[in-house]
A and B are shown apart, each in its own frame.
Chain A
Amino acid sequence: MTPALGMFLFFVLITLAITYWAARKSRGAAAFFTASRRITGWQNGVAVAGDYMSAASFLGIAGLIAFFGYDGFMFSVGWLVAYLTVLLVVAEPLRNAGKYTMADVLAYRLNPRPVRAMAALSTLTVSTFYMIAQMVGAGALVVLLLGSSHVTYQTAVIGVGVLMIIYVVFGGMLATTWVQIIKAILLMAGTILLSILVLAHFGWSFGNFFDAVTHVSYHEKGAVVTKNFLEPGLRYTAANHGALDLISLGMALVFGTAGLPHILVRFYTVPDAKTARISVVWAMVLIGSFYIMTTFLGFGAATIVGRDFIASHGGNNMSAPLLAQALAGDIFFAFIAAIAFATILAVVAGLTISASTSFAHDFYTNVIHRGVERAPGEEVRVARMTAFVVGAVAICIAIVLGKDANVAFLVALAFAVAASANLPVIVLSLFWKRFNTTGAVSGLATGLIASLVLIIISPSIMKVDPAGTVAAARHLIQRPPIFPLENPGILSIPLGFLGAILGTLSRREPQAEARFAELSVRANTGLGAEKAVTE
């Protein structure tokens, strides 16, 4: 047994023990969906940070910085700044006025059935796309980390999928939260250790470190090039409308984070809005320190390991583990690999529970059965079944797509939908008295469709590949792209808002306007908010 496999199994054992403990402790709907609203501020902050620091951002961001220098760091900046929107606009009103999902806030003064149906559709879209991206990445990574002689892609995907189903189905939100907390602490520890080792490598001198970053050499099209990795422009060039794409990405991050369903459900796990606020600040401290350290990981990998070596040993996602191996040998590689594995598991579990909560609470109970639970515990039972189905479907899709599939755009899509569909309706519902059901439905639909269509006609899907590209990695439509940017936010976010505003103006809904006073008082004061469950 390799050290990496040993550490993987150790993590799995710990998380299964947590799931067993959580399953014995949790009874009832509030326990399953919100961990009885008894998670404390710092715990939830760590869990929010954990939900956010996915494998895509731990391995992905280190890789992007190792390959594209400063342009990769741009993602890091946006990911933290985005939390100001969560803190200032969304977290507290949502906690005060909602119960389990973001649609609760919309349903307050709007006609619940159409609004919840659309909100559930948008939540499921965001969660499943995000999850498929994570699963395909997970399968490929586990193979790289453990070695293809130990595990195949299919086994890896099935293993990750089955574990995530177990966490969610048996342990509910309590287990998911604690798996997330443990993983976030491990991830921070690993990142701090790696950063210290990188600095030690440069003789504890920031000067030496940054000097090395200014001349990084690698092969490009057969020739050796040397670039200053502190300068922008390695990825977003003028030729591919880089400046606009960067701004579009920034918009999707800053407005999308506050609309990501798996982040929003976290604010229902704390006792009150004040704790929700404190947890956002905890998350910001962790996320900020983490993303500042990504420069050490990324630049360290670029200077110490080298772009050529990474490219020939599994590609840019392997930057952080390979850096660990170069700095401290196989055991440390195994440790970082195990952290990456923990990260994947925890994030897919978080996505699964937000998807199943939305389906069970919004769609099944409130749309199909008009808000009446026909038997006690039915909502939780449906959520458990949904988690199982969602997990099984994600496993199948990930296996069908295969490990070389180009899925990075699915994450961009998830952020775009969250920013263009979810955020406009949340904000307008909270702050605009005139807002109504037609506006919410047309806003959600416009944001969703605009994001989907713009991604389909963007270079992520529409591109002519050079001859000899692996079949699975080929772009789906072999034609020049119609929309030039990889990130649709710059167009789809205004469209989402426009859809919501025009829809609202097309009709008057006196009832929605009359109930604005109630929503406003509840959201701003916490009067009558859902309380924590006592044991």
Chain B
Amino acid sequence: MAAEDSNIPPNPTPIVGAATDIAPLGHIGPKPPHERTAEEERRAIDWESLAVSERFRALLKAKRRFIVPAMIFFVAYYFALLVLVGYARPLMEKRVIGAVNVAYLFALSQFFMAWIIAALYIRAAARFDKMAADVFERR
């Protein structure tokens, strides 16, 4: 894998608003990125070797390790509410604080569950951003 990694070109994304049209130093290829056609752009990058590079695979793995459990958890938590509301009325109608019952509190907790998962994801995603930048960093 390491040998393939060394062939990876630098980030070819055009720099918008750059002070000069001249391609950044160290850029591989005959044309600066903003002059390439879509087809040339596509061929300028070796997508296959990027896709199998260790850093990219690590990024995918890290994302999967967060997103898959998070999806499973929130879908299960949400449908638990719907199933209980449908099939366990006596439990849901039990009062907890004054007039407020389990059904209302469980529904309310869904909002906080969604916000907490979103906050955790924002934190994790900052790490993914760094890993993504590493994928096409020259080293």
Chain A positions near chain B (C-beta within 8 angstroms) = 70, 73-74, 77-78, 80-81, 83-85, 87-89, 207, 210-211, 213-214, 228, 230-233, 236, 242-244, 246-247, 250, 254, 274, 277-278, 280-281, 284-285, 288, 291-292, 517-518, 520-521, 524-529, 531-534
Q: Is B25 engaged at the interface, CB distance under 8 Å to the other chain?
A: no
Q: Tell me if B56 and A525 are in contact (CB < 8 A).
A: yes
With contacts A70-B104, A288-B111 taken as known, whether A281 is within 8 angstroms of B60 at the C-beta atoms is no
Q: How far is the CB of A518 from chain B (nearest CB, A)?
A: 4
Q: Tell me if B125 and A277 are in contact (CB < 8 A).
A: yes
Q: Tell me if B107 and A74 are in contact (CB < 8 A).
A: yes
Q: Is B14 engaged at the interface, CB distance under 8 Å to the other chain?
A: yes
Cβ contacts under 8 Å, A78 to chain B = 78
Q: Is B132 engaged at the interface, CB distance under 8 Å to the other chain?
A: yes
How many residues on the B side are at the interface (Cβ–Cβ under 8 A)?
A: 57
**What are 30 of the A-B contact pairs (CB < 8 Å)?**
A73-B107, A74-B107, A77-B81, A77-B107, A77-B110, A207-B98, A207-B99, A230-B99, A230-B100, A232-B103, A233-B89, A242-B86, A243-B82, A243-B83, A243-B86, A244-B86, A247-B86, A250-B78, A274-B125, A278-B122, A281-B122, A517-B52, A518-B51, A521-B50, A524-B60, A524-B63, A524-B132, A525-B136, A528-B41, A528-B45
**A215 to B78 alpha-carbon distance, docked (Å):** 28
**A281 to B74 alpha-carbon distance, docked (Å):** 16
Interchain CB contact (< 8 A) of A232 among B70, B78, B85, B108: B85
Most buried by B among A207, A213, A526, A534: A526
Most buried by B among A244, A250, A518, A521: A521
**A107 to B111 alpha-carbon distance, docked (Å):** 36
Q: Tell me if A211 and B99 are in contact (CB < 8 A).
A: yes
* Contact residues, B39-54 vs A (CB, 8 A): 41-42, 45, 47-48, 50-52
Q: How far is the CB of A251 from chain B (nearest CB, A)?
A: 8
**A188 to B119 alpha-carbon distance, docked (Å):** 22
Most buried by A among B52, B108, B111: B111
Chain A's closest residue to B71 (CB) is A88
Q: Tell me if B110 and A254 are in contact (CB < 8 A).
A: no
Q: Tell me if B82 and A246 are in contact (CB < 8 A).
A: yes
Q: How far is the CB of B117 from chain A (nearest CB, A)?
A: 6
Chain B positions near chain A (C-beta within 8 angstroms) = 11-14, 16-17, 41-42, 45, 47-48, 50-52, 56, 59-60, 63, 67, 70-71, 74-75, 78-79, 81-83, 85-87, 89, 92-93, 98-101, 103-104, 107-108, 110-111, 113-115, 117-119, 121-122, 125, 129, 132, 135-136
**A529 to B100 alpha-carbon distance, docked (Å):** 49
Q: Tell me if B114 and A284 are in contact (CB < 8 A).
A: yes
With contacts A277-B122, A524-B132 taken as known, whether A210 is within 8 angstroms of B114 at the C-beta atoms is no
With contacts A247-B79, A521-B56, A529-B13 taken as known, whether A84 is within 8 angstroms of B118 at the C-beta atoms is yes
Interchain CB contact (< 8 A) of A517 among B14, B50, B129: B50
Interchain CB contact (< 8 A) of B16 among A70, A521, A532: A532
With contacts A77-B107, A88-B67, A527-B12 taken as known, whether A518 is within 8 angstroms of B42 at the C-beta atoms is yes
Cβ contacts under 8 Å, B48 to chain A = 517
Q: How far is the CB of A516 from chain B (nearest CB, A)?
A: 8
With contacts A81-B74, A89-B71 taken as known, whether A288 is within 8 angstroms of B100 at the C-beta atoms is no
Cβ contacts under 8 Å, A254 to chain B = 75, 78
Q: Tell me if B103 and A518 are in contact (CB < 8 A).
A: no
List 4 other contacts, CB 8 Å, given A254-B78, A525-B56.
A77-B110, A277-B125, A284-B118, A527-B50
Q: Tell me if B107 and A89 are in contact (CB < 8 A).
A: no
In order of increasing CB-CB distance, the 7 nearest A-B pairs are A243-B86, A517-B51, A518-B47, A210-B99, A525-B132, A531-B16, A214-B99
Q: Tell me if B114 and A84 are in contact (CB < 8 A).
A: yes
**A306 to B51 alpha-carbon distance, docked (Å):** 61
Q: Tell me if B13 and A531 are in contact (CB < 8 A).
A: yes
Cβ contacts under 8 Å, A74 to chain B = 82, 85, 107
Q: Tell me if B136 and A527 are in contact (CB < 8 A).
A: yes
With contacts A517-B47, A520-B51 taken as known, whether A83 is within 8 angstroms of B114 at the C-beta atoms is yes
**A520 to B136 alpha-carbon distance, docked (Å):** 14
Most buried by A among B67, B75, B82, B108: B82
Most buried by A among B81, B104, B135: B104
Q: Tell me if A84 and B100 are in contact (CB < 8 A).
A: no
**A247 to B117 alpha-carbon distance, docked (Å):** 22
Cβ contacts under 8 Å, B47 to chain A = 517-518, 521
Q: How far is the CB of A515 from chain B (nearest CB, A)?
A: 8
**A270 to B124 alpha-carbon distance, docked (Å):** 21
Cβ contacts under 8 Å, B93 to chain A = 228, 231-232
Q: Tell me if B108 and A292 are in contact (CB < 8 A).
A: yes
Q: Tell me if A81 and B104 are in contact (CB < 8 A).
A: no
With contacts A521-B50, A524-B60 taken as known, whether A87 is within 8 angstroms of B83 at the C-beta atoms is no
Q: Tell me if B17 and A534 are in contact (CB < 8 A).
A: yes
Q: How far is the CB of A533 from chain B (nearest CB, A)?
A: 8
Chain B's closest residue to A526 (CB) is B132
Q: How far is the CB of B113 from chain A (nearest CB, A)?
A: 8
Q: Tell me if A525 and B59 are in contact (CB < 8 A).
A: yes
Q: Tell me if B79 and A231 are in contact (CB < 8 A).
A: no
Interchain CB contact (< 8 A) of B86 among A246, A521, A534: A246
